[in-house]
Amino acid sequence: MSAKQDSGKRYHRLPPQAAAGCYLAHALRVPAEADTRAQHWPKGHLLQDQDCRLLAQRGITSLAVIRPEAGDLPEAEAAQRLGRALDHASLEARLAPGGRVNIYARDRGLLLIQAAPLLAFNRISEALGLATLPPERLVDAETLVASLKVVPFVVPQNQVEAGEDLLNLAAPLLRVAPLVPRPVTLIQTRLPQTKASVLTKTEAVMRQRLARLDCQALDCQRIDHLEAWVLQALAACRAPLLLLMGASAVCDRGDLLPACIEAAGGQIEHFGMPVDPGNLLVLARRRLADGGDQSIIVLPGCARSPQDNGTDIVLQRAVADAPLTRDFVTSLGLGGLLKETSERGQARESAMDV
């Protein structure tokens, strides 16, 4: 029987004499008799022969039960097997009552989730459910990041095996990518009208952002918004992570900062980001003379604000042991509207003619 052919109809009403080996579908109060006290049996109680004899003696004639079928596994065994498949270097699986496994982060880091296998797992059967925190969440050690539930009291073994196959992928369905603190350089360009206070505030805001990611070493530079100055700064920078904040927002791949990155041997991986605020971010990379790789992020104007925005999402990836790619940036459109533009005092809406 395949995972999709199971009817799931194991609920029956049976006399006690036929209920041995079944699970109580609902909690049951066993009536008192003579000098004995009434007993309370919880739902999921596995009925033994002596239980059934006792119930018949106490006058109970019908029970709501779950009757296992051939090839079924008890919920606790199924949960334990699936939990083992989720337990690895960055996550700890802990068995809980009621066919549940709770998944905790072992260390601080960035929660990464493969969406397609997660959806496929939850579609194997009505009996299996895996819920998680939102992806790209920065979590601490001992944070509950996911919970797996075997919904009924028993589940077909082939469904558990299908779940194990999905959870045992070469790349884990869930993992917490550790933060990798590294030196960061922030280069801001300025025009004659640029206020020094704006640059100073930006430096303070970026220090706060990076401190949350355990990056304490931030080298701040200020240069004129001119090609020669930018090229000179790029030639001298060897930091593994370079942040560029332009005096004016980048409007095209041919704009000053992206053009200088390419002239300095870099490659623009993606221009723009489907996150608001944060649309005008540029992601780039270059190979340094010493053989090392340098990630370059041309920051959007909202990076000057301490409020959460698209900059935070990308910086987390840049600092964590996780790929920062064009595919990742473009995936951020799902849930990418972080704030209504009206909250930022920008009248960007007008009526549409339809």
Domain-located, residue 330? yes
19 confidence band (pLDDT: 50, 70, 90): very high
Percentage of residues of the chain with pLDDT beyond 70: 92
Q: Are residues 137 and 197 in the same domain?
A: no
DSSP states of 327-354 as a string?
HHHHHTTTT-B-S-GGGGT-----PPP-
- pLDDT at position 287, please? 96
Domain-located, residue 102? yes
Q: Are residues 149 and 217 in the same domain?
A: no
Task: Give the three-class secondary structure for 158.
Answer: helix
Is 150 a residue whose pLDDT tops 70?
Answer: yes
351 confidence band (pLDDT: 50, 70, 90): low
**H/E segment holding residue 150:** strand 144-150
Q: In this predicted model, what pLDDT tens digit does every residue of 43-53 receive, in sequence order?
A: 999 999 999 99
336 confidence band (pLDDT: 50, 70, 90): confident
Domain boundary among 178, 198, 215: 178
- pLDDT at position 35, please? 65
- pLDDT at position 217, please? 85
Averaged pLDDT, 14-21: 97
Q: Are residues 191 and 314 in the same domain?
A: yes
- Asked if 211 and 309 touch (Cβ cutoff 8 Å), the reply is no
- Asked if 109 and 176 touch (Cβ cutoff 8 Å), the reply is yes
End-to-end CA distance of the chain: 53
Is 274 a residue whose pLDDT tops 90?
Answer: yes
Give the predicted TM-score (pTM) of the model: 0.87
Domain-located, residue 122? yes
- pLDDT at position 2, please? 43
Two structure tokens written together for 159: 């469904």
Q: Which residue in 99, 97, 145 sits closest to 118, CA to CA?
A: 145
Q: Are residues 109 and 224 in the same domain?
A: no
Sign, CA torsion 137/143/148/151: negative
- Asked if 101 and 81 touch (Cβ cutoff 8 Å), the reply is no
Q: Are residues 46 and 159 in the same domain?
A: no
Q: Are residues 62 and 76 in the same domain?
A: no
Q: Kindly report which listed range (2-16, 64-78, 219-233) carries the lowest average pLDDT score.
A: 2-16
- Asked if 232 and 196 touch (Cβ cutoff 8 Å), the reply is no
Q: Which residue in 338, 264, 263 sits closest to 308, CA to CA?
A: 338
Domain-located, residue 10? no
Domain-located, residue 6? no
Q: Are residues 61 and 76 in the same domain?
A: no
| Cα–Cα distance for residue pair 129/124, rounded to 1 Å | 9
Total number of domains constituting the chain = 3
Average confidence score pLDDT of the chain: 92
Q: Are residues 282 and 200 in the same domain?
A: yes
- pLDDT at position 1, please? 36
Q: In this predicted model, what pLDDT tens digit does every residue of 162-189 receive, in sequence order?
A: 999 999 887 899 999 999 999 999 999 9
Task: Give the three-class secondary structure for 105.
Answer: strand
Domain boundary among 148, 178, 208: 178
- Asked if 223 and 190 touch (Cβ cutoff 8 Å), the reply is yes
Two structure tokens written together for 107: 């260390």
- pLDDT at position 14, please? 97
- pLDDT at position 338, please? 64
Q: Are residues 116 and 89 in the same domain?
A: yes
Q: Kindly report which listed range (25-39, 120-134, 263-277) carries the lowest average pLDDT score.
A: 25-39
| Cα–Cα distance for residue pair 271/282, rounded to 1 Å | 5
Q: Are residues 60 and 76 in the same domain?
A: no
Domain-located, residue 9? no
Half-sphere exposure of 164 (CA within 13 A, CB side): 14
Averaged pLDDT, 223-245: 97
What's the CATH number where 306 sits? 3.40.980.10
Q: Are residues 284 and 237 in the same domain?
A: yes
Q: Are residues 140 and 267 in the same domain?
A: no
What's the CATH number where 137 sits? 3.90.1170.30
Domain-located, residue 1? no
**H/E segment holding residue 177:** strand 174-178
Domain boundary among 66, 98, 123: 66
| Cα–Cα distance for residue pair 43/347, rounded to 1 Å | 58
Q: Which domain holds residue 158?
A: 72-178
Domain-located, residue 5? no
| Cα–Cα distance for residue pair 88/232, rounded to 1 Å | 46
